[in-house]
Amino acid sequence: MNLLWRGCVPYEEMLLLQEAQRAARMRGEAADELWLLEHPAVITAGRRMAGEGRPEGLPEEIGWVATGRGGLATCHEPGQLVGYLLMDAGRIGPKRLVRAVEEGLIGWLAGAGVAASVVEGLPGVWTEGGKVAAIGMQLERGYTMHGFALNLCNDLAGFGWIVPCGLAGRRVTTVERLTGARRTPEEVWAAVGAAVAVELKKALDASGGAG
């Protein structure tokens, strides 16, 4: 799997790039890739929020985009590492795919001094301080788009405008708040991407796939 750092890219621009890349992957013209990047502040709404519009009073500097991914609302901000998985995951299956991504993030977090885990029935990665990573993917004929968002040193201001992933009463946190150490997406993207790629390879090997 190729790991690529894409920098800070507007959400809607990256959405179009993902769609083009997935189409190329479906045609066999591209390899499996994991794109690592940041977004300017934006709230994204999943399929379960179809028909809902921009919240009244949302500051102009925070974007609002309806998407085709699963789930409800989440927020992307500078300081958050976003990972977009563009691969043939048909030989893994959606549940094993999500679990592999979760395990990769949990492994990297452990090395950063954060004890994290999964909570049954709640996608994402959790700590005692709250949810530190969200996961939301879209599969078409087994080919993926979207991925994960790991809160590193973002200020979480945008999350005050939503109920993250529809989970009322559940806190959101960052690696910086949990450890006191500031790690930026550009500093850690390669290590986080590698940790996720290792777990995806394990899932492929267990399924008898190649990649």
Spatial contact of 73 and 165, defined as CB atoms under 8 Å apart:
yes
Q: Residue 174 and residue 197: Cα distance in Å, rounded?
A: 22
What is the number of alpha carbons within 13 Å of residue 179 lying toward its C-beta? 18
Instruction: Clarify whether 165 is annotated catalytic.
Output: yes
Between the CA of residue 175 and those of 28, 39, 58, 87, 125, what are the distances in Å? 37, 18, 26, 27, 12
Q: Residue 100 and residue 23: Cα distance in Å, rounded?
A: 23
Nearest-5° Cα angle at 77, 150 to 112: 30
Partnered with residue 127 across adjacent β-strands are 130
The candidate with the shortest Cα–Cα distance to 43, out of 60, 63, 16, 13, is 63
Set 8, 75, 153, 165: catalytic member:
165
Catalytic residues: 165
